[in-house]
Amino acid sequence: MREPDQQEFGFIEPRNHRLRRGVYLLPSAFTIGNLLCGFYAVLATVKGGIVDLDDAARAIGFAIVFDAFDGFVARATHTNTEFGKQFDSLADMVSFGIAPAILAYTWGVRTIAQSDILEARHIYDLAWLVSLAFALCCGWRLARFNVHGMAPASGLRYFVGMPTPAAAGMIAAVVHAWKIPIEDWRWSAVWLMLVLLLAGLMVSTIRYASFKGIPWGRRQHSLIIVAVGLLVWSIVVYSEIVLLLIAAGYTVAGLTIHVVRLVRHRLVSRPA
């Protein structure tokens, strides 16, 4: 007596079932790495030492790398799922919302808490509101992206508002570059203004380049490979200044392009 064929019962077991299940684990593994880096950044920030704060900034940087790879792997292997999308957003909230907000608060104002200067106390009281605003804007930005996606009619080229990894990366780059916490209340005020600016950029409608449309799978010019290699080498050797320049350049680029677009639109719409 022959065994019944699976087709007789109305289903076919895919031959690559195990392979598909393994492929779906790849983007989730990068997302878990992102979440672990964010959690470690929080723990390191709580310790509060100079080395600990620098480690927290580095952890946020590694979280950005993991976040970039989980999306790339998901698109390359066609394993985009609704579960992965929501899981990625939750991990981003920890790594790019909670962790940088706590790091900004600890590095920027905690040292001036014992100061007798009245202005320093006001800055210290204001700091937790600014840090909370950063975390709230991060959550708002992630929720808006899950609902609306990329900028309309832009494909994969632009984000609406500053991406949360870029905003968190700006905070981490500054901490990694200077390392020693701020001890002057005036610089703390400037720092809080920067954090508040980054929070506003996340919930704004300013377009920021996504770099998702770059055809990585196509053949590239050899000079591009050399340039990427030099960039990686410079980040490894001169991470403080190079990462700060990259983060600041990306932040300013979005603002500059937005201003140029507004000016050009007004000039075009002005009657002759």
On the question of pLDDT at 242 being above 80, the answer is: yes
Q: 128 or 24: which carries more pLDDT confidence?
A: 128
Q: Which of 207, 200, 202, 86 is nearest to 153 (CA)?
A: 207
**Which residue pairs, CB below 8 angstroms and at least 24 apart, start in 57-61?**
57/103, 57/171, 57/172, 57/173, 57/175, 57/176, 58/172, 58/176, 59/99, 60/95, 60/96, 60/99, 60/100, 60/103, 60/168, 60/169, 60/171, 60/172, 61/169, 61/172, 61/173, 61/176, 61/243
Cα–Cα distance measured from residue 140 to residue 75, given in angstroms and rounded to the nearest whole number? 24
Cα–Cα distance measured from residue 13 to residue 201, given in angstroms and rounded to the nearest whole number? 49
Q: 134 or 154: which carries more pLDDT confidence?
A: 134
pLDDT of residue 234: 94
DSSP string of 8-26, one letter each residue = GGT----TTHHHHHHHHHH
Residue 13 binned pLDDT confidence (cut-offs 50, 70, 90): very low
Residue 219 binned pLDDT confidence (cut-offs 50, 70, 90): confident
Task: Tell me the CATH number for domain 19-269.
Answer: 1.20.120
CB atoms inside a 10 Å sphere around CB 210: 17
pLDDT of residue 64: 96
On the question of pLDDT at 170 being above 90, the answer is: yes
Mean pLDDT value of segment 173-192: 95
pTM of the entire predicted model: 0.85
Length in residues, the chain: 272
pLDDT tens-digit map of 38-74: 999 999 999 999 999 999 999 999 999 999 888 778 7
Mean pLDDT value of segment 14-18: 45
CB atoms inside a 10 Å sphere around CB 27: 24
Q: How many helices (H) and strands (E) does the chain have?
A: 9, 2
Cα–Cα distance measured from residue 247 to residue 166, given in angstroms and rounded to the nearest whole number? 7
Mean pLDDT of the chain: 86
Cα–Cα distance measured from residue 21 to residue 59, given in angstroms and rounded to the nearest whole number? 29
Spell out the domain ranges in the chain: 19-269
